[in-house]
Every structure is written in C-alpha cells, then in structure tokens.
C-alpha cells in the first residue's frame, strides 16, 4: 500500500500521559511524519546514533480511503480501509528538550525509520474500540494496549483531522500509544502483536 501522509496522535491514553508527566488536554496533540519514515517488515530498524534515548511507542494504525473535508464522526469509519500495528519511534531526550523550549516535535519524531509498520489487514467493520495489542522487547512485555482506553476514538480522530485537512486515499493514522514506552538498544528484537491483526517483529541495529 502506498502511504500518502502519516498523521500521528499524541496523548490519547491517560496512563501514558501520566507516565510522561503531562496533563490531559481538551484536544489531542497532533504531529506528522513523512512517508519516508516507514519501515516495512523484513527490514532492520537502524537506531540513530548520538541523539540520546530512542523509545518505542506501539500503536493501532489505520489506513484511509480518503473522505475529504468535514467528515461527520458518525460516517468516519466508512473511510477506513485497513488496520495494522506500528511503532512511533521517538528520540525522547530530544523531545523533552524541544517541549521545554516550546519548539515543534518533528526533529524527535520524523527522523528516518521512525515509523515501522506491520502488514495491513482489511477492515470489515471490526470494533476499533475493542482491540488489544502488546509490545514486547526481547520477549519481555513492555506495553499492553486496549483501544477502549483511548480518550479520543478512532472515529473522532478522523472527524477532527478532516476539519483541517481534506483526507485522501493513502493517508494513515497512528492512533496513540498506551503506557509502558521505553528505550530500544542495538541488538534488541521488538514484537507487536494483536489477536485481531497479527504479529510483527523487527531487529534493532
């Protein structure tokens, strides 16, 4: 599947907000990554050198068929075509410095290979707020996500995005990460898994 734009939602799980010392807001945090950040299965994750801690953030990812502008929340899921799991890799030390200075997050979020993606599974009306997924590093459980814990449902995210951007075929949406984020090191093997979507693994180098 050709990826057009990558929209990413931050602060969408209350426990993750707490673990990073943030407070819930009336609106989620939104940032974007270029399509060149995608790392497909079968490729290793090359972690940046000399830029501090690289954290994993496991997420449900949805692909869109388009839909244009001002999509009603009730109609939003009719524009979802596929599901997968992905990683929003984050240069945490750099992100903290950027936040402290009130600067945009792109340098910490949009670097090369910052968006590993699993294989896409067709969406056939599955309840997107009743999915579970895990993230394991070297076999140890790091994250256990339940999409029912999202502060903003997938449908609401799509509705809000469409108020600023006319959504297009190939746009994808990283829907936020649960608590348990942590560092990755060269030699680590990271695995994402959901009974409803599949299991996807990468080696870190």
Locate tokens 């599901």: which residue?
83
- Percent of the chain having pLDDT more than 90? 85
Domain that holds residue 90: 6-203
How many independent structural domains does the chain possess? Answer: 1
The answer as to whether 100 is a domain residue is yes
The answer as to whether 1 is a domain residue is no
Give alpha helix (H) positions in 35-127: 92-100, 106-109
The answer as to whether 38 is a domain residue is yes
- Percent of the chain having pLDDT more than 70? 93
Q: How confident is the model at residue 198 (pLDDT cuts 50, 70, 90)?
A: very high
Contact assessment for residue 105 and residue 49, using Cβ atoms and an 8 Å cutoff: no
- The whole-number pLDDT of residue 74 equals 97
Question: What is the token pair recorded at 8?
Answer: 């990413």
The answer as to whether 103 is a domain residue is yes
Give alpha helix (H) positions in the chain: 14-19, 92-100, 106-109, 154-161
Any idea what the CATH number is for the domain that residue 197 is in?
3.90.850.10
What's the length of the chain? 205
- The whole-number pLDDT of residue 23 equals 63
Q: How confident is the model at residue 109 (pLDDT cuts 50, 70, 90)?
A: very high
**Interval 30-41 mean pLDDT:** 94
- For 116-169, what is each residue's pLDDT tens digit? 999 999 999 999 999 999 999 999 999 999 999 999 999 999 999 999 999 999
Q: Which of residues 16 and 187 earns the better pLDDT score?
A: 187
- The whole-number pLDDT of residue 27 equals 65
Locate tokens 């068929």: which residue?
65
- The whole-number pLDDT of residue 1 equals 83
pTM of the model: 0.94
Question: What is the token pair recorded at 65?
Answer: 């068929």
Q: Tell me which DSSP letter residue 35 carries.
A: G
How far, in Å, CA of 43 to CA of 45, rounded?
7
The answer as to whether 142 is a domain residue is yes
- For 179-189, what is each residue's pLDDT tens digit? 999 999 999 99
99 three-state secondary structure = helix
How far, in Å, CA of 152 to CA of 63, rounded?
17
């Amino acid at each position: 599947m050709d990826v057009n734009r990558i929209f990413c939602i931050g602060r969408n799980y209350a426990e993750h907000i707490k673990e990073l010392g943030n407070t819930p807001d009336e609106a989620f945090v939104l940032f974007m990554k270029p399509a060149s950040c995608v790392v497909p299965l079968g490729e290793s994750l090359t972690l940046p050198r000399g830029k501090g801690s690289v954290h994993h953030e496991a997420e449900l990812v949805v692909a869109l068929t388009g839909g244009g502008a001002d999509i009603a929340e009730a109609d939003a899921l009719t524009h979802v075509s596929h599901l997968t799991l992905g990683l929003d890799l984050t240069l945490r030390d750099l992100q903290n410095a950027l936040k402290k200075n009130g600067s945009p997050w792109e340098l910490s979020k949009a670097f090369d290979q910052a968006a590993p993606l699993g294989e896409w599974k067709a969406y056939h009306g599955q309840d997107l707020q009743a999915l579970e997924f895990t993230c394991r590093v070297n076999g140890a459980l790091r994250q256990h996500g339940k999409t029912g814990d999202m502060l903003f449902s997938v449908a609401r995210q799509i509705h809000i995005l469409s108020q600023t951007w006319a959504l297009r075929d190939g746009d994808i949406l990283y829907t936020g990460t649960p608590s348990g984020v942590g560092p990755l090191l060269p030699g680590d093997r990271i695995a994402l898994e959901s009974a409803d979507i599949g299991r996807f693994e990468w080696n870190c180098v």
